[in-house]
Structure 1
Amino acid sequence: MFGYFKSILHEQKNMLLEQASQTVNSEVTKVREHLSDYADIAAVESDRTFHLRIRDRERKLIKKIDQALERIEDGTFGLCERCGEEIGIERLKARPVTTFCINCKTKLEKEEID
């Protein structure tokens, strides 16, 4: 069972790393046009900032993927950090980096709201 998740996590990580590499290469090799219109300059900067924010989120996801792979190796993958119970297989399939069972995650989210 863990082999399945290990494979999925490695695939996700490789895809994210490839996308990050493409973004960096695109930014480095992009020919900067001499833009004189402030609206064009703002649009280019806004687009660049948007892509960099996405890459930052993906960087954080890569860290979670690495942590999930470590949990597979040390035998704690699929166990809830809060209650110690097994995390349901469907939840792991939907979000293999999760560290909480659905009940504990629901409680944590409710506590954030209150």
Structure 2
Amino acid sequence: MATSASNVSEKLKQAKAAVDKDYVPSDDEEYMGERQLDYFRMLLLDWKKSIHDAAGQTLQSLQDGPIREPDLNDRASSETDWGIELRTRDRQRKLISKIDSALRRIDAGEYGWCEVTGDPIGLRRLIARPVATMTVEAQEAHERREKISRDN
């Protein structure tokens, strides 16, 4: 994991060097031009690094030893907290695969375009959810189809 984290840190340094500190993508420039792609690469790598850092802290806490609360209520509370923490880390593990997929789409020149319609996803949506693969409309239609199939 240390190699992976250092690799992410190195890529993040490179991405930050390619983007101005105060830059925020705007509708006035070419959609998914080099500057915007560099910005989203930096955003995704920074997000991935923060997830790796948090996972490292969780791992360190787990290695520090078992729960040794003398009171049964305190022990139950601690075990519940650990369960929540581990579920959070599992969700973040899945998020890392989405981040990696988004980084591959950047490298392939497909980032920022809806995988269903081929339309631009939009800067505001990508800033809010950098791993988005569909426009809001396509995502809503997808969720409606999912709900209908679940109800049947």
Task: Give 2:83's aligned residue.
Answer: 49
Q: Equivalents in 1 of 2:91, 2:133: separation in Å?
A: 18
Look up the SS of the partner of 1:25 in the other structure. helix
Aligned pair partner of 2:64 in 29, 33, 47: 29
Structure 2 equivalent of residue 9 of structure 1: 44
Are 1:99 and 2:133 an aligned pair? yes
Offset at 1:34?
5.4
Q: Percent identity?
A: 40
The one-letter amino acid paired with 1:55 is R
Q: Indicate if the aligned counterparts of 2:113 and 2:121 stay in contact, CA closer than 8 A.
A: yes
* Aligned residue among 59, 64, 68 for 2:102: 68
CA contact (8 A) 2:121 2:134 kept: yes
Deviations 1:31-62 (A, max 9, x none): 64253x43222212111101000001111111
The alignment's C-alpha RMSD in Å is 1.4
For structure 2, the residue ranges without an aligned partner over 5 or more in a row are 1-35
> TM-score, normalised on structure 2?
0.70
**Aligned position for 2:73:** 39
Equivalent pairs counted in the alignment come to 113
> In structure 1, what is the Cα distance between the partners aligned to 2:43 and 2:49?
10
For 2:55 and 2:69, locate their aligned partners in 1 and report how far apart those are by CA, in whole Å: 26
